[in-house]
Chain A
Amino acid sequence: MSKENVKVQVRHLTKKFGDLLVLNDVSFEVKKGQFLCVVGPTGCGKTTFLNCITKLYEPTSGEILLDGEPVDLRKHNVSYIFQEYSAMSWLTVEQNIAFGLNIKHFPKEEVKARVDEVIAMVGLEKFRNYYPNQLSASMLQRVVIARAFATKPDLLLMDEPYGQLDIELRFKLEDELIGLWEQLGTTIIFITHNIEEAVYISEDILVLTNKPTTIKTMINNSLPRPRNVTSRSFIDLREQVTELIKWW
């Protein structure tokens, strides 16, 4: 992979909590515009890994480079979508989506234009003046996704964002996410414990081992889109990944 084409470089990343070794010398690269899913056994340290990228945790050793430089959230345009809903309850849908843009002091016209653009993408135009407590679970997660995309992030980190949704909503939002990624070309690192989800949305799948976590393998997912979860090739890939993360 040429240097210009690399978005994220993880080099010998190790994270310990006291004596507990969670991440053990993890190294890999994510290319620009790549949609990478990270899967692994429950509790293997997937979230710890994301939290190291965003500096919520300091790595014990090793480094994470974004565009060839150590991660600096003031400089790099990174968005993070958490597993739990993180819409601000005192802001309307529109104000929530504009939150990051206002923080970054974008001009008013630009804020309005971008909010209008992403609010249409996630289908919430009719709800722009609603407060979060007036919205359903899927709408709430769409608000958070729209807020993340409104800033046109270079890197979007998603930590099991659909983990709490039922299967129908999950499929709908997964399709929406793929659509947004195809339109905007954002680099996405998506963590999930749901292998079907990983096979459905990803371009590449990074499989982690049990603790202390290392990389088991990186699988290129070249299934054509739109993907059919009942097709033979889809099921084969899903079973291949399942075999890889089996710890039982």
Chain B
Amino acid sequence: MKNKAKQKQIAIKILATIFSFLIFGLLWEMLVRFSDVGRVMPGPLETLQSFFEHFTEKYSAYTLPEHVWRSLRRVLTGYFFAAIAAIALGILMASYKTIDAIVSPLFNMVRPIPPVAWIPLAILWFGINDGSKYFLIFWASFLSMVQNVYAGTKSADPKLIGAAKMLGANDGHIFLTIVLPSAVPYIFSGLQLGINSAWAMAIGSEMIRSTDGVGWLIIRGMDNNNLLQELVGILAVGIVGFALASVLRGVEAKLCRWNKRGT
């Protein structure tokens, strides 16, 4: 009975998703057909056709999947190290008042600066090639994640800490069995924010100077007045971003089953 209801819910969700894409495609098609935009902008079907054709055909030196992979490689590398650094710093700041007192003012000053503002300095420090891109991706996702890890580590319920102490837990036990599990949902929210920032920064940094990647694809499309190439690049960004967010949501759902209401 419960399974049937669940299956029905999933079916409704899939149908609603298909419906929303169809509506979006229809609006796009109408815009192209019935307005002047259509003179320069390709429609959804033409874009999709080009998208699939470039699985084998090349844009410059690479096919579309190869460009996506090059961007993705930068994103995942920068993001991986950012996640480690953000989790470590967020936990340290939340756990030690001295570290918090020293790091917080600096962090709070740096945090509102948009990561793109660091591009000139990143190029100066790490060169015009991949080094600066890795740094910018790292930095953008790091800034998005630290605050969540910090808040999550601080969120541990004092009542649960008290209960654990009464049951004989020492500081190490309390950290591992109460503080860390309490922080997990916050950390996952931070990881979600971080992956979005990382992906956005990857595209942004590839637009500055690059010979590959989806950002390059979009900016080169613009330079050559090739709107179809731009749209294919944008579509690729959307699909990969959606896939990355879905993977993270899946991992979170698996690890934080206890955080969902209902049986």
Interface residues of A, Cβ cutoff 8 Å to B:
54, 56, 73-74, 77-80, 82, 84, 86, 88-92, 99-100, 103-104, 130-134, 144, 147, 151, 157
Take A73-B166, A90-B258 as given contacts and tell me if A99 and B177 are in contact as well, using a CB distance cutoff of 8 Å: yes
| Cβ-defined contact, B167 with A99, below 8 A | yes
| Cβ-defined contact, A88 with B166, below 8 A | no
| Cβ-defined contact, B260 with A103, below 8 A | no
Q: Can you give 20 A-B contacts (C-beta < 8 A)?
A: A73-B166, A80-B162, A80-B166, A86-B157, A86-B159, A86-B162, A86-B163, A88-B160, A88-B177, A88-B181, A90-B184, A90-B258, A91-B258, A103-B164, A103-B168, A104-B168, A131-B257, A133-B261, A144-B163, A147-B167
Which residues of the partner chain B approach A77 to less than 8 Å between Cβ atoms?
168
| Cβ-defined contact, A100 with B160, below 8 A | no
How many chain B residues touch the partner (CB < 8 A)?
26
Instruction: Give me 5 other A-B pairs in contact (C-beta within 8 A), A74-B170, A99-B164 excluded.
Output: A77-B168, A80-B166, A90-B258, A103-B164, A131-B258
Q: In whole angstroms, what is the CA distance A131 to B38 when docked? A: 55
Residue in B closest to A147 when the chains form the complex, CB atoms: B167
| Cβ-defined contact, B166 with A54, below 8 A | yes
A190: min CB distance to chain B, Å: 15
Within 8 Å of chain A (Cβ to Cβ): is B105?
Answer: no
Task: Please count the residue pairs between chain A and chain B whose beta carbons lie under 8 angstroms apart in the complex.
Answer: 66
Residue in B closest to A86 when the chains form the complex, CB atoms: B163
Within 8 Å of chain A (Cβ to Cβ): is B193?
Answer: no
Interface class of chain A by DSSP: loop
Interface digits, B229-263 against A, CB 8 Å rule (1 contact, 0 not)? Answer: 00000000000000000000000000011111111
Within 8 Å of chain A (Cβ to Cβ): is B169?
Answer: yes
Q: For window 154-183 of chain B, which residues contact chain A by CB distance below 8 Å?
A: 157, 159-160, 162-170, 173, 177-178, 181-182
